[in-house]
Structure 1
Amino acid sequence: MLVAGCDDDAGGGGDDPASGDGQTSTPTGGGGDTGGGDAGGDGADGTADAPAAEPAPPPTAPADIEPERGERSVSEDGSTITVQGDRAAFVTPTGNLACVLNGPSASCQLLDMAYSPNPDHLVEDAVGECAADAADTMVLTDAGGVWTCPPETLTRTAAATEGGWWAEAAGAPTTGVEDTDAAVLEYGLTLRVGDTTCLSSEDGVTCRSGDLGRQFFISRNAYRFGAS
């Protein structure tokens, strides 16, 4: 059973992006060695004095280490933008949905939603203290559930200086969302990282993982998920 959704825009319909055995829902309301030179002459007993010890430098803090990035590139083929490299993220044109593609999976978060997910659709091992009425993010997973509560908003990950880095290379626009200049995936376009894709449409966002064989659809008013 499939439930058509619509994004926070009033906008138009489209082909039903999900099919198969999916679940559906309708709205419900070190320091190194330190050296020292000779430190004096012979002592009174004829033995040499030991070199003066110097304090070891503090260990390097993680913040002082610039993370290494793999090679990154962006290519376009019709309506598909393919990112080679690390994660990529975007927001929809309205800014209400923010998505992150990373490895074989993808996650999408709603800033405003008109329903609470079915409690049976929570990802139990990742939810923690997250209740169904607080879950706002769907994630591609081979587990039974897809809803969870991320530790931070995905909008920040979509910043043009972070996961939205691809926008400049692809000539994509950016928009301000929650004090973040985020990369926008315009309607009708698909972003691909490896074998994972997310399609942005006026209805909502559909993400698929070829590695996991799973997909979900998410919008302000409805969601569904299942096998791809």
Structure 2
Amino acid sequence: MTDDVADFWFDPACPWAWMTSRWMDEVAKVRNITVNWHVMSLTVLNEDKDDISESYRASLATAMAPVRLINGIREVHGQEYVKPLYDAIGTRYHPQGRRDDQRQVLIESVAEVGLPAEAIDLADSGAHDESLRASHDRGIGLVGQDVGTPVVAFNGIAFFGPVVTPAPKGEEAGKLWDAVVQAAASRASSNSSALVPGARSSTEVPAAGGRKCPADRQPVKEVLTMAARGLSRGVMALIVVDSILVVVLIALLISHPRPEGEPTPAATEPAATADEEPGREEPEAEEPEEDEEDEEDEPALQPPEDAVSEAAFVTPSGNIWCELGADSATCTIGSHSYSVPDQPCDGPYGRVLQVSEDEATLPCLSEEPATSAPDGLAELDYGESTVVNDFWCTSEESGVTCYSVMSGRGFSVARANYTTF
């Protein structure tokens, strides 16, 4: 069977594009899909924009180098190097958190994919900017200038996003792909302009200000905001899987069979009493004030329904063990090969990660942590999650990720790398 083709446009600097690319890797394993990888550039996208912050503009000043490197290597050495080079750079940028070490990251990535050291010079050269901009224009032209990266195109429809964290694996990734394609196709078919060549429908992840990778957002479990090209932002509709919507709608109609235009069911209207005068207006009931505190307590993430409730666990490898408490989740790694930033304190630092509702950190310790897990801990199998209080951890072969359910902050840790978000 011939594979279908999906096209994926990315800027390697964008962490959300990176998350989506990990999902696409999984999709390609379980669906008959070949993914073609293309560069786009947040620097190009924002070069004439005035509505972005100074800090974001400063970050764009260095973001062109990795895009130029990948595109230049594609031009000189071939398309087959695009994805491996993206993987090499992205792993160092995102899971390893080495955004401030860009030059060394690019040098290491060029070496990892087996190219000569002098290929790094392409990062500083504008010789291939024409083809870079052409690739960018092809991708952004499918979804419009109001969005950013990533862009995915498949069977005549194009998405901006979706961003999913953690990236689903195996058949779960395939099912999400099926849902996104189905929802986008449904949205496109409801808009006649989306049926003609060059028209667009998009799956958009909202960004606050500017046309960019929304790096100031906290990650969400699954973001599937579908917007038809041509609709204003105010009328963007949230679409989940069509079949689920139908079931929910039917359930609501059955449980609330209210005739159109009737504010409440007749059976619930109180009968008039002898004391009531016809035409007498009763004082309007005061609207209950919204509990601002309740709104603030709305969780940012929704843990999986099949999560267990182990307050302390160890991974099957025995190298990572974690404890979930009332105020934080903490993991310790026995041995690692990742680099630790300059130590900000005198005590041990770098092998323990902790997330509270407010932040995820590598805390300074008063004594050296153990190098092996305590006896008697429950083993959390790969693919399983545990939720205790407001904290959620997932064990994977690639490491452990823990979150604050309320704020979405968290960390991932593995033998080769770690990241906080």
TM-score (normalizing by structure 1): 0.47
Structure ranking higher on relative contact order (CA contacts 8 Å, 6+ apart): 1
Compare the two structures and name the one with the higher helix fraction. 2
TM-score (normalizing by structure 2): 0.27
